[in-house]
Structure 1
Amino acid sequence: MIKKLSSALYTKMKAELEKFNDDQMDKMDMLKNAVLTVHRYLDELKQIIEKYPFADEDEEIWFFKTEKPMFYRWLIFYTELLNIDSTRPLGEGKRLNDHYREQVRYINRFLRSHEFQYQYFRLGNDELDHLFFLRGASSKDIRLSSVPTVDPSFGTGHEYLFSKFRACELLQDYLKRKLSARKGLTAENAVVGKARMKWTGESLNLIEILYALHGSGQINNGRVELSEIAAAFQQLFQVNLSRYFRRFAEIKQRKGMSKTRFLDQMREVLIKKIEEADAYRP
């Protein structure tokens, strides 16, 4: 029951957060709204486990190791983004580059200070899960620094660390993109040198690809958000996808045609190309 309810809640939360990306609101207002939204959904998540006790220790470990960090990482991510943006220096020169680099160094220092737990997280280990992710379990022999006091009914301490590890990786990607863009190393330059590519088809076709790639988990082993893929596409193809969430509704509402019209066309073109290549015998 907990898995089903929390999964539905996460889907609902992500849809609400994606709307913030779609709306043309001030960035600081967007970040503040995102923080408040994740707070609200974490409260709802807590209510779920209060109403439906864990079936066994395995479910409790899964929840605090995997499920809660899926939610909690976004609270940390948006809070850190708010701090980064609110403290950024004026102008677009060296001071701004130094600001972003200092944030990268801060993240790296945090990860080094929790190197044991971070490697445990990265490698997917499980031998200490009973100490890390069961409420009331003792792991005092394992150093925990920079961990805030947690509600003992809704946290273990290590679930905060796993949430922050996930958030740190998102922040690292964000800051790398910022620094790369400022050096002129945009995504299209990385792929095709100095040549620039522009999406000249319907933007809705690209949105079909966007959702298909995200849903099939083809990028970063599925550990990437829809908004991140959309941002990469916008850079690579010089196209505006800011309304992709709303335009996806157009795909869902299609009548009298395939809902995956463009993907079907691509499939037909590829099959034809394969058949033509097979038919050619020099």
Structure 2
Amino acid sequence: MLFDVCERELRVMEDALVKINAHFNAPLDRVTPALAVIRKSLDFLRGHLVEHPLASVEEQVLYAKVLLPKFYAWYIYHQEWYAIWSAVPVAVPKKVRAFWLDELRVVNRFPSRYALQHAYYRLSDTSLDELLFVPGVAEPGNRLVPEIPEFDAMFPTPCSYLFAKFRAFGLLSASMMEAMAGTPPMVHAPASSRKRTREMRWTGDAINLVELGFGIYDTKQLNEGNASLAEIFEWMEEVLHVRIGRPARRFEELEGRKKISPTDFLDRMRHGINLRIDKKNTYDPEAEEAKRRRKEKRAQLAAKIKKARGGDDGKLSTDN
């Protein structure tokens, strides 16, 4: 029951965040409405726990390790994203890119401060769940329990908050890499100089993104191979404005395919690219002849212009 209730509320919250992203073009304009939406969902969780206290150790671990961090990660993400954009310098693109690279290093370096806990998070380990996520179990001074100065009181244990921060910084890293893919984002640049692109939405079948997500994960394409499946799915959902679902459940759909290949979409992509290459490399006599004629016409036109200007000296001819 707890899982279903939280997942429904999470979908409501994330749908609202997608709408906010679509409505506000400037990142600095999104933070206030986004945080308001997230706070509303966090208040919902608090109220639900008051009415339905966690009844077992399993529920306590599920809530502290998985459910609450999913919500609060977005809260941390939007605060940090706002802080980064607010600090973008008014400078030439080269210096702005240096700023973004420095910020990316800071974000990617954060997990190393809690290497043991981050390894536990990344590997989805469960052997220490009760120690790390059930309040009162760990003895004071236990090295496995991190000391976090900004530890939020709504979290049952410090490690629960830390898992939310790991998730948030994974989202931040993905957003920063996406932002840096082209011209360095300059929040203070004149409006006329900012690159405006149409919002992109995934309109194909979500199961196709499942294939892409597992392909990206298995070939270690993001964050030096350290991005988890959950982070990759969440990144695709946020960027492409689509609901994909839980990786494990969607993978079962791929495994269960009988009439088509489990990698049908990737197979079609490979086939399409090969066709494009074959088409480009195929010798077409008519196309080659047309290309030759166009080249000759350009050469003749260039010769006429050169003659009209009197040769290479760039002066107009005085001959009648």
Q: TM-score range by the shorter chain?
A: 0.5 to 0.7
Structure with larger RCO (C-alpha < 8 A, sep 6+): 1
Q: Which amino acid aligns with 2:41?
A: Y
- Which residue does 1:13 correspond to in 2? 13
Q: Which amino acid aligns with 1:161?
A: L
Matched, 1:163 2:164: yes
Cα separation, partners in 2 of 1:50 and 1:165, compared to 1, 3 Å? same
Deviation at 1:81, TM superposition (A): 0.3
Q: Which amino acid aligns with 1:124?
A: S
Which deviations, in whole Å up to 9, do the C-alpha atoms of 1:128-176 show, x marking residues without a partner? 111111122325312524442332x642111111111111111111122
Deviation at 1:227, TM superposition (A): 2.6
- Which residue does 1:126 correspond to in 2? 126
Matching of residues 1-282 of structure 1 within 5 Å: 1-138=1-138, 140-142=141-143, 144-151=146-153, 154-182=155-183, 207-209=202-204, 211-213=206-208, 216=210, 218-219=212-213, 220=217, 221=229, 223-225=233-235, 226-229=237-240
Q: Aligned to 2:28, what secondary structure does the other structure show? A: helix
- Structure 2 gap ranges (5+): 185-197, 218-228, 244-263, 272-320
Q: Which amino acid aligns with 2:84?
A: I
Deviation at 1:212, TM superposition (A): 4.6
Which deviations, in whole Å up to 9, do the C-alpha atoms of 1:58-111 show, x marking residues without a partner? 111011111111111101111110000011101442221121112122123321
Measured in 1, the distance between the counterparts of 2:124 and 2:2 equals 22
* Identity %, equivalent residues: 22
Deviation at 1:39, TM superposition (A): 1.8
Cα separation, partners in 2 of 1:22 and 1:106, compared to 1, 3 Å? same
Deviation at 1:51, TM superposition (A): 1.2
Cα separation, partners in 2 of 1:94 and 1:5, compared to 1, 3 Å? same
State the TM-score, normalized to the length of structure 2: 0.60
Deviation at 1:126, TM superposition (A): 1.3
Task: Using the TM superposition, name which of 140-149 and 93-102 deviates more.
Answer: 140-149
Measured in 1, the distance between the counterparts of 2:47 and 2:68 equals 13
- Structure 1 gap ranges (5+): 184-198, 231-243, 246-265, 274-282
- Which residue does 2:249 correspond to in 1? none
Which deviations, in whole Å up to 9, do the C-alpha atoms of 1:232-252 show, x marking residues without a partner? xxxxxxxxxxxx89xxxxxxx
Q: Which amino acid aligns with 1:23?
A: H
- Which residue does 1:250 correspond to in 2? none
Question: Alpha carbon RMSD of aligned pairs, Å?
Answer: 3.0
How many equivalent residue pairs?
A: 215
Measured in 1, the distance between the counterparts of 2:53 and 2:181 equals 47
Q: Aligned to 1:180, what secondary structure does the other structure show? A: coil
Measured in 2, the distance between the counterparts of 1:57 and 1:44 equals 22
